[in-house]
Structure 1
Amino acid sequence: MGIEVERAGKPMDRRSILKHVVGVGALAGPGIAAYAAAYKEDAEPEAESLNPRSFGAKGDGKTKDTAAIQRAIDTCSKRGGGVVYVSPGTYLTGSIWIKSNVNLHLSAGATLLGSPDIEDYKAPAEMQKPVTWVTIRHLILAFKETNVALTGRGTVDGSNHMYLAKSKNPPVKPEDRWHASSSAETERVQRISPMVEIAMCTNVLIEGVTLQNSVGWTLRPQGCYHVVIRGVKVRNAMNTQNTDGIDPTSCENVMISDCDVDTGDDALCIKSDNVWGENRICRNVTVTNCVLASACNGFKIGSEGYFGFQNITFSNSVVYSKPGRRDDERTISAINILMPDGGWIEGVTVSNITIRDARIAIFIRLQNIIGHKDAVMKSWLRSVMISNVQAFGQIVTSQITGIPDHPAEDITLRNIRLQTDEAGQAAWANNIVPEREHGYAEGTLFGRFPSFGLYCRHVNGLNLSDIDLVSTKSDPRPMIHFDDVNALSLRNVTGTPPSTGAETILMRDVTDAAITGNYPTAKNNVFVRVQGEKSAEISFFGNDLHRAKTPVALDANVPAGAVRVDGQSFHPA
């Protein structure tokens, strides 16, 4: 792909540059001469490169350059495609439409600055159907195009300060910040969302650019095939609502890598609704080598999940909260796998993730449909594998939950280390966690949990191995709480025992469980306590529990024969 440059006040294309280079080849050395010689007159021409300045753009930050930039894009596309090269400068602009076979390339030092006039944001006629609040105005957009790209080291700036106002909400009390969000501090007077909307396109490349100061969602490919998002930086204020970083939605074959996102809402959220046609399965999505920070969630699947998610991978990444942030400015859930909208999730792999100071490290949740309290549940969430995760600074318990008669299924956590900094209270150990079957779910909305490390309820098929749950504070609660869990495998689970001598692991109404290969690394009062009249087929074998004063304790309501230790029916003395 060529770029247009200036020589003696006139533009030069790549072929002209190379002709000039041949003349100086001897002075420049044999390498450049050989390179130039390879481009002969009968060679295939390079893709066309156009500069919006040639169409009247000023790049002075004051003149509206929308029309000039659009003319450059339209001309490039009509000629068969190429590069629209935006040279250094600040280009004040409204909506820009990328067309087929066009790469809108922002050079280092080039900024597309969102117009302060809301009337400058107008989508093409075929996109003006106001399906939802996020589909009307955009700064950069493409619709039903092929081979579209936004690349370079330049910046797209949404000028969000022009469209924000201070919220009328009262300040959050310090003691409530653990479940609040700093995004409530501001509200929008206009919506330009998503700032970059790529809809119903095939072969999409977003690479290298900085996307900042969005008024709403920042970047959304929706209903697209074959999407590559690489090396993109997102910067939005932490106190702004709905400023998601990257939201691949109802897309297939998506690769997101080497991105750096710091924003007020979800850093990276995968969705499956499609306002431009039938909902599609969002599948074959790979997210890797990313750094994510947010005042909401780090990596998230779900919400606007009206259809399916399949084959999703998140790996080799960091989710963090910046040092010094208040609790309401910290990431809520670093890993958030959520299905509240009637769709389904199947086949998710999360591996090699480091988490720093997220309120919750892992949040997996299946619940009933938002807005349909009497609807028949048709969703499912299953086949999730999370491994090699290390988290520091958790202050709210990690969770894996379904709802009654609709469990989350086939969940595996392996080689997980969660460090909790929350100073729990004895009263919390008796808390009854609300079901909250309907409505929008966040891990901070269920109140305080009766365990400090992990809480699991309504799960069918749960495999936990090589788990280390550490509390840096004096916490009287159990380390793990299981409630209505079937087909449980518990292997090599260690951590900090409760400070008051309570059980380390509580099992209530657990069935078909295998507890094996466990060796507590610290003195425990009770390693496992079993409760509930539905408890059945719980087997302990191959454990070394000599460091526990009471390895296994049974409450009176546990049926006889429900628990076996090393092949023998267990009856406490």
Structure 2
Amino acid sequence: MRTGHTFDVRDHGAKGDGIALDSPAINAAILAAEAAGGGMVILPPGNYLSFSLRLKSRVTLVLEAGATLIAATKGPLGAYDLPEERGPQLYQDFGHSHWRNSLIWAEGAEDIAIIGAGRIDGIGLTRDGPGTPRSAQKGERPLSMAQMPAADIDKLERSHAEMQGLGNKAIALAHCRRVTLDGFTLLKGGHFALLASEVDGLDIAGLSIDTDRDGLDLDCVRDARIERCRVNTPNDDAIVLKTSLGLGRRSSCEDISIRDCTVSGFDLGTMLDGTRQRTQELSPDRDRVTGRIKLGTESNGDFRRIRIANCRFERSRGLAIETVDGGTIEDVLVENIEMEEVTTAPLFLRLGARLRGPEGTRPGAMRNIAIRGLKATGIDPRFAATLAGLPDHPIEGVQLRDIDLAFEGGFTGPAPALPAELADAYPEPSMFGPSPAWGLWARHVNGLQVSGLRLSRPAGDPRPPVRLDNASVARVENAPDWPAPV
């Protein structure tokens, strides 16, 4: 609902012809709305070429049906706002450490919104940026990238100097309160379609995002809801919660709800055009396409009271819950999940010890995780649902209820040996190689409860359906493939 003063960007000089640069006019309208105590900045139907827009408190940006905000390309028309000078950022990459080098950004703003049936086209944004500069490089990249030539990695990780004037996020928010994102479509959002860092009170609904790297990233966000969104991200995660040190301190993700969303890994742009193409087989990390819901990998702070319900995964990696940088994940409830064409493990819980953080960072904890009603088909036969803690830091209190996993084909190799612990490796299901069980593998888990576990595959497999290594089981009911007690 529109309330308050309205400010048409054309009254401030915007052309909307896709040729003239309209960001000065749009920013002028935003400042006029701020000066009036708040209001609606309207983009009527048209094509608005833009560099950085600076959203202010009590201002709503309205993208009307037929309006497209187009990310301009750095060059003769200008450049994006420069990334903040924040000193060395040792524990997270460039993208997580800056906000102003974005198409739309806000810092310290309250009661802001981007709404409407229009579109954001991030064609002028880059998905690239440098990694972390810390000296200890273990766990920085997935093990699947270990054999990549340095030249290929350099193509993905531009230098700081190369990033000056480039935009690498569609929307970036830092230290904001009471934010609404509703109804619009976003194509090609750069490194992040949305990076929300230390935002309190975030409502996201009805977005359609088809992007070249991360979709919706909530980093140290509290009191947030993501509902009825479609997010297609073949190259990275679709909806992800994180607790990085991007803002210079340890903080948490708390009271987050993700409901009625669909995530996928179809070819870029083909979710929005409806063709849902499948020509891309691998993500840049050399694993199969991504497109999932995930907690982590950045996990310096804690995650508490997370709810994920009534979501679909299509041609994507499965649900991942990971803490490897010292944070605690607790009180997570996942309900009524459907997956089709799962490109790695359908479920991956990992408590590790990458420990990308200041001196003295210690392994975190994972406890009280309930997953109820998960049905997955077309699962990559190499990877079982995996729960993997550490010998001295087990995962605690996991409930699996009504889990139905149907694997695609069989595994033809010899049964693999028990994998190494790999405590400090980047967490991905492929880190361990093919799983030592084909259905469910749990290692270093205390208090596992299982009820209604159904596992199926169409071909033979030398591995057992379930394997437990240093895992204590509190209760098993209606799980015919469960191993006999020893």
Same fold (TM over 0.5): yes
Higher relative contact order (CA closer than 8 Å, sequence separation 6+): 2
Find the partner of 1:305 among 292, 296, 299: 299
Query: How far did residue 378 of structure 1 move?
Result: 3.6
Find the partner of 2:58 among 101, 107, 111: 101
Query: How far did residue 58 of structure 1 move?
Result: 0.7
Question: CA-to-partner distance for each residue in 1:406-430, whole Å, 9 max, x for gaps?
Answer: 11111110000000114113612x4
Q: Is the 8 A contact 2:6 2:40 kept in 1?
A: yes
Question: CA-to-partner distance for each residue in 1:422-451, whole Å, 9 max, x for gaps?
Answer: 4113612x4221211002110012111221
Distance across 1 between alignment mates of 2:43 and 2:185:
14
Q: Is the 8 A contact 1:370 1:440 kept in 2?
A: no
Specify the alignment match of 1:72 in structure 2. 29
Please show how residues 238-277 of structure 1 align to structure 2 within 5 Å: 243-263=213-233, 264-277=235-248
Query: How far did residue 187 of structure 1 move?
Result: 3.3
Specify the alignment match of 1:34 in structure 2. none
Distance across 2 between alignment mates of 1:342 and 1:207:
34
Specify the alignment match of 1:409 in structure 2. 396
Specify the alignment match of 2:286 in structure 1. none
Question: CA-to-partner distance for each residue in 1:304-343, whole Å, 9 max, x for gaps?
Answer: 111100000000010111xxxxxxxxx23x2100001111
What is the root-mean-square deviation of aligned Cα atoms in Å? 2.6
Q: Is the 8 A contact 2:326 2:361 kept in 1?
A: no
Specify the alignment match of 1:227 in structure 2. 202
Find the partner of 2:326 among 316, 319, 342: 342
Question: CA-to-partner distance for each residue in 1:263-321, whole Å, 9 max, x for gaps?
Answer: 12100110112533532221000000000013225110011111100000000010111
Find the partner of 2:263 among 292, 301, 309: 292
**Closer/same/farther in 2, CA of residues 160 and 381 from structure 1, 3 Å limit:** farther
Q: Structure 2 counterpart of 1:102, which letter?
A: V
Find the partner of 2:439 among 453, 457, 461: 453
Q: Structure 1 counterpart of 2:94, which letter?
A: W
Question: CA-to-partner distance for each residue in 1:218-264, whole Å, 9 max, x for gaps?
Answer: 11211011110000111124xxxxx1100111111001000000012
Query: How far did residue 372 of structure 1 move?
Result: 7.2
Q: Is the 8 A contact 1:222 1:274 kept in 2?
A: no
Query: How far did residue 360 of structure 1 move?
Result: 1.5
Query: How far did residue 477 of structure 1 move?
Result: 1.5
**More deviation in 473-482 or 383-392?**
473-482
Query: How far did residue 383 of structure 1 move?
Result: 0.6
Find the partner of 1:92 among 31, 49, 69: 49
- 2:370 partner SS: strand
Query: How far did residue 54 of structure 1 move?
Result: 0.6
Specify the alignment match of 2:185 in structure 1. 210
**What is the number of equivalent residue pairs in this alignment?**
427
Specify the alignment match of 1:280 in structure 2. 251
Specify the alignment match of 1:122 in structure 2. 81
Distance across 2 between alignment mates of 1:249 and 1:360:
24
Structure with the largest fraction of helix: 1
Find the partner of 2:19 among 59, 62, 78: 62
Alignment of 1:420 with 2:407, yes or no, is yes
**Closer/same/farther in 2, CA of residues 162 and 370 from structure 1, 3 Å limit:** closer
Query: How far did residue 376 of structure 1 move?
Result: 6.4
- Deviating runs (4+, > 6 A) in structure 1? 161-165, 179-186
Specify the alignment match of 1:360 in structure 2. 345
Distance across 2 between alignment mates of 1:274 and 1:59:
39
Specify the alignment match of 2:69 in structure 1. 112
What is the TM-score when the length of structure 1 is the normalising length? 0.70
**Closer/same/farther in 2, CA of residues 215 and 248 from structure 1, 3 Å limit:** same
Alignment of 1:155 with 2:119, yes or no, is yes
Alignment of 1:463 with 2:463, yes or no, is no
Query: How far did residue 193 of structure 1 move?
Result: 3.3
Q: Structure 1 counterpart of 2:401, which letter?
A: R
Distance across 2 between alignment mates of 1:82 and 1:153:
18
**Unaligned 5+ residue runs, structure 2?**
130-143, 266-288
Q: Structure 2 counterpart of 1:194, which letter?
A: K
What is the TM-score when the length of structure 2 is the normalising length? 0.82
Specify the alignment match of 1:187 in structure 2. 156
Sequence identity, in percent?
A: 28
Q: Is the 8 A contact 1:96 1:139 kept in 2?
A: yes
Q: Radius of gyration: which is bigger? A: 1
**Unaligned 5+ residue runs, structure 1?**
3-45, 166-178, 238-242, 322-330, 496-503, 506-527, 529-537, 539-562, 564-573
Alignment of 1:47 with 2:4, yes or no, is yes
**More deviation in 191-200 or 71-80?**
191-200
